[in-house]
A and B are shown apart, each in its own frame.
Chain A
Amino acid sequence: MATSSSAGRVLSLCKQFQNVVRISSAVNTQSCSPALTKLPPRQYREKSPLAALSWRSPSSSVAPCRALHTTISRRGLDEFFDLPENWGETTVKSGAPWTAKQLRTKSNEDLHKLWYVLLKEKNLLLTLEQEAKRQRVPMSSPERIRKVERSMIRLETVVNERESALRMLQTGQEKARPGAWRRDKFGHVYWYRFKEYAIPWYMNRRYKRKSFFTPKFVQPHIRLRLEKYLRQRARKTSLERRTQSKLKEKFPHANISAS
């Protein structure tokens, strides 16, 4: 496992990728959609973003891996459409979405490039969906859109985690957007997030109409609501206890479920 250079690191990142890089000449013969388990869409077609990093260190000192240069594919508006072999197919194979655990292993540059790969894939799928609706034909494998959406959401969470950690270390602030704990008219305490305005709050008429306090006549309602909540919680625990005791009575030798 060559870990001293970026090229080696890149190629050893995932096993599938090593296979893909070796059979780079046989790329065009396959017609299935290339997002095969863990690889982002069209990964083996364009061999980017992970492979493109390797051109920076052509004279790497690591023997087993050769420096690899790949060109970015520039197809302009054709990137809104799938490969021509997949036009008219009812099902197009695609791999699993990226998980947050996998994304956390990637560098920031990789995540940035992956975001754009996913963005372009989502645009492609949306155009396909719209055209399918237009032609009154079922869209081929619509679950791809959900997969891409989930991958993007997880990417966003990973990036936010990193940003938040950095902010905590540098400034000591937990949240990027300032806010405060406030009460609303019904007695609920919630985190109110501040919004950016061009004028101060005392000149903002709509903001002044909002009241962040609980009037005194709402106190009985709050008490009743609290009682209801406690009653429901008590009912739930007593029901659980009752079912457990009944089961114990019926099946005395059964082991207790871990619930």
Chain B
Amino acid sequence: ITSRYPLYQLGNPQLRIFRPNWFLTLVRPGKEQPPDTVQFRIPMEMTKYDVKNYLEKIYDVPVGAIRTRIQFGSNKKRNHLHQKVKQPDYKVAYVQLAQGQTFTFPDIFPEKELKHEEGSMEEMQEKFMEDEKQRQRLDPRRGGVTEWFGL
């Protein structure tokens, strides 16, 4: 976008950007945040006003306050050739929603019952494992007690 947007000097009109090339990533906050705060990872070239306009125009989300910071990606780790490997830097934006809205990050990976289709290899394997476990289990009539001792 910086290549498309002309050089700005004081007094120039603020031009629109058609088809912005910026992508926002909603992330789960590492530290506990207030209920109205949403945390985003944004490209380094974006500013607070850019994020505000982006969310308001494209997502129709009322934005109140917004604060940004740049997270330094570590340059400490080394690969098998003992060269330093740089983790990329990224900008984080903390967006507070207006009009008293709240947002909680949902659980996107809930535990789901994996049901295999009929007659498939996985289903047969599952059944086999179930039978094996059933055989390994102790006599339920003895109440789970082992057969090492007793009659």
Contact = CB atoms under 8 A, between A and B. Distances in A.
13 contacts: A76-B60, A77-B26, A77-B61, A77-B103, A87-B107, A112-B18, A119-B58, A120-B58, A127-B25, A129-B25, A131-B27, A132-B109, A155-B19
B59 A122 contact: no
Given A131-B109, A135-B109, 18 more contacts: A76-B59, A76-B61, A77-B38, A77-B61, A87-B108, A88-B108, A88-B110, A112-B18, A123-B26, A126-B25, A127-B25, A130-B25, A130-B26, A130-B27, A134-B28, A135-B108, A159-B19, A197-B7
Interface in A175-221: 196-198
Contacts of B101: 76
Interface residues of B, number: 27
B44 interface: no
A30 to B, nearest CB: 18
Contacts of A135: 108-109
A159 B25 CA distance: 26
A156 B21 CA distance: 10
B112 interface: yes
Contact of B26 (A80, A88, A198): A80
A221 B28 CA distance: 57
A18 B106 CA distance: 35
Contacts, number: 73
A134 B23 CA distance: 19
A116 interface: yes
B113 to A, nearest CB: 10
B65 interface: no
Interface string B61-74: 10000000000000
Interface in B13-29: 18-20, 23-28
Interface of B: 6-7, 9, 18-20, 23-28, 38, 41, 58-61, 101, 103, 106-112
A21 interface: no
B27 A127 contact: yes
A120 B60 CA distance: 12
Given A119-B58, A123-B23, A126-B23, A88 B109 contact: yes
